[in-house]
Amino acid sequence: MSSLFLFCQFAKFSVVLFGGGYMIIPLLMTTFVEENPVFSLDAFGNLLVLSQITPGAVSLNTATWIGFTQRGIIGALAASLGLVLPTVFLSFCAITVLDRLEKTLFMQGILKGVRYAGVAMICYAIVLFAGMSVFTQPVPWRRLVDFITAGASLQGFAVNPVETVIALLAFFSALKLRLSMIQIMISGALFGILLHLVF
């Protein structure tokens, strides 16, 4: 994977990332696990998780990491600049006309539509991450349909009880206790080690 390819890919992603980086996860998954299999699903999951718990902008961390594993320092620079440069250009265009831009029908329409896509993307990210934790393998939709309609076997696809408990705990502790994301993730790691020792 050349540095130029990395730069172009991340530049492409950065143009459609509206209001936050979590939308990038499905894009990265499709590009670097399915289309160009440079990471295994397991390794990629760990990479995403590590970029979340290291300080700094999450997507920038992910981009740097992917670039570094492919082409060393040059690759890391190419990937992170790819993610940043389109934003530099666009925000300089926007700063001067910000007051008017926000009120134009065109921009309002785009922002409204992208908000729907944002919810869909994060739901998809939940499915992807559930396939790496709550279930033993990525959700096999076709076999699942066969299973429900014809009772075919779901070989190798099952629920991990420990991870399910952690995911539910994380959900409810974020809802009720208002813990921060990093506190939840670190307790998730500790719970994971503890519960695997017990069971």
Partner 1 sequence: MRKLLQTTPEKITKKELIVRCWVLFYTFFKIALFVVGGGLAMLPVIEEVFLRKHKWLNKKEILDMVILTQTVPGLIAVNASLYVGSRIAGFIGSVAALIGVMIPSLLIICSIAYFFPDLSPNNPYITSGFSGIRAAVTGVFAITAWRLGKEIIHSVWDGLIILILLILLLANVYPLYVIVLSMPVGFFLILKKQKKLFFKEKKHE
Q: Which of 32, 33, 51, 71 is in the footprint of partner 1 by CB under 8 A?
A: 51
By CB under 8 A, residue 137 contacts partner 1: no
Minimum CB separation from partner 1 for residue 85, in Å?
Answer: 9
Helix count (H) and strand count (E) of the chain? Answer: 8, 0
Interface residue with partner 1, options 52, 138, 146, 157 (CB under 8 A) = 52
Does residue number 49 form part of the binding site for partner 1 (CB under 8 A)? yes
- Closest by CA to 125, choosing from 17, 24, 16, 11, is 24
Q: Which of 7, 33, 71, 80 binds partner 1 (CB under 8 A)?
A: 80
Residue 38 interacting with partner 1 (CB under 8 A): no
Question: Is the distance from CB of 66 to CB of 44 less than 8 angstroms?
Answer: no
Q: Say whether residue 94 binds partner 1 (CB under 8 A).
A: yes
Q: Which two tokens stand for residue 83?
A: 């993610």
Token pair 């718990």 is found at 53
**10 Å Cβ neighbour count for 171?**
11
Residues 169 and 176: beta-carbon distance below 8 Å: no
- Residue 8 interacts with partner 1 (CB under 8 A): yes or no: no
Is 7 a binder of partner 1 (CB under 8 A)? no
